[in-house]
Structure 1
Amino acid sequence: MKNDPNFIAAYGNIPTFESLEEREKWLDTLDKIYTEVNDNFEKEMSKYFYPNGPVIAYGYTIDGVLKVAIEKGQKIDAAKENELYDLFSNYGQNIAVKDVPLIIVYEDLPTPTSRTSSWRPIIGGIKICTEKPDGIKQSTLGFSAQTSSGTKGYVVAGHTAPSIGDQIWQPTAGPSANKVGTVSKVGGHYADASWVPYSNVAAKIYDTDTDVLKDVKSHENAAIGDTVYKSGITTGRSYGSVTEIRTSYDNPLGTLYRQYVAGYNCDGGDSGAPVYVYVSGGVKIVGIHWGGVGTYNSGYSTSIFSPVSGVQSDLGVTPLTA
């Protein structure tokens, strides 16, 4: 790790695990520390966090270590490194963790990534278009959902439709018949997601080519280590394991809490894609894709998505199930 050009500093020691249960218990402990930092974000972490400071993400990884990411190109001195460690270490001490493991690394800011036939009813995983100041942009529809009062609609990536009243077309912009609703609510706390009321929706996603659909049977957050799938208009279906839970900066929505990092491929246009796992009879929605993490090389090999609980919290909607 220390030979990695993105490595900055390391503190503490990762325990040795004799069983899967021990690893899971340790990850639960790290989650408690991470949650305390989140709960006290404004008081303690915000001064270090982008755009106030160089930190663009923090969380914990499948390897059993807390992690702080510094934007590439920014400078951080040893004093600031120690301050960041002390912040996490103090919360660890509160729950009897004396040697809190933490790494500090350089990363690029996550880059938001922005089937093409006409689909009625609307389903997840299909091409949509939104109008931006610099032209029409394509992205992927997330999943159908409904409010507690029964109003139906669907969820899209918030950074692709960040304003109430934004018009959505499917599959292309222009003809009035392709208008499929306007944004009525935007997330930005726990989810990069926007809500579009629209009555003609179905509890299905476009899983893979050609025209392979899956029923949405349930919804639940993923766990670290789970294999998840993403179905987007640019890279199609890809999959990988959840490796990290973090608070991350998302342009233009700002700070997003409890976001999930996973090792599946993505590229521009995949934003908004449903993230899911397979279950009996269909799929379980676990979140909505919004960006690529790391260095771009004909796409991204690591991605970031908002969990379904974040969508529910920010938008007040629940995935529609069959």
Structure 2
Amino acid sequence: MRERQKILALVLAVLVLTVLAVILWLPSRSVKGSVDFGIRDENSNFHYEVGEQLSFVVSDSGLVRGKDLLWELGNGDTLHRNPIASYTYKQAGKYLVTLRLEGRLLASRYIQIVQAGEITAIDSVPRISGVHEAYQDEELTFSAVGQGADTWLWEFGETGTVDAYERQVNYAYEKPGNYTIRLNTNTTKYPIEHKITILPRFEKAEEVVAVDSLGLAQEDIRRRLQIIANTSVRDKSRYREQINYIRSTYFCSPAGEIAVVVNGDKYNDFLGYCQGLHFLESNPKRRVQIREVKIDNLHCVTTLQVTQTTIEQ
């Protein structure tokens, strides 16, 4: 009996020591904080292309320094890299990229790999970005969205002639009515059309103080995008707060369907653009300054025209 008690006590002692060892060992092996990663494409055109080298970069390398990271590329391939992994996809498709540490999921993201020829074909088809309803004498902004064109001929349907020749133009209708805006470019065989209804202006009796609602909205969005660019990658709550505010205040469509045109020639969806802004904060030598934001509609934005510069520090 005494022998069995000794054996039982020895087993219990071993179990207690094992539990204590695990408790002491776990903190040193765990990752504290929220780990995420960003994706950089080789030609910086915001598209992930077949044959292009992509870099998967941990947003805060200090959280995983010295640890063995496993990158799962979604097509059966894996890489052991820390904190940057480079990879080239050979086939187009949608892939789930997953980052793991010792079997534990840290972050994952779907990416779409496309053929380079598809990008040119899609982006070269222009379209008109602008409101569909406005008031008489209200100054409106219209933009030609799409790559490849370098000649733009705008007809706003009121004068019967060509009214403007720039990629982004302003126009105010003198008379109410229904109009068809036509845009001819050097890359299109037929004009692109855009319907608009101009409502009569009623405040003729007395002079009123004009409120530039569109300008206030554009400055509001610009300021919040700058906050995203300045926010630490660890501060997820502030990052999401700005995105949710812009989305609920100005969008009628899902944020992933809102186009962002950067400096007139680089394209991305709203969520991808904001993720890129937030991720750049991790590089202390580069900062993004949001200079100006233009929107195509005050209440149902579909396109953001962003002018920004990168400051090397």
Q: TM-score, structure 2 length as denominator?
A: 0.30
Q: TM-score, structure 1 length as denominator?
A: 0.29
Greater radius of gyration (CA): 2
Higher relative contact order (CA 8 A, sep 6+): 1
Greater per-residue strand proportion = 1
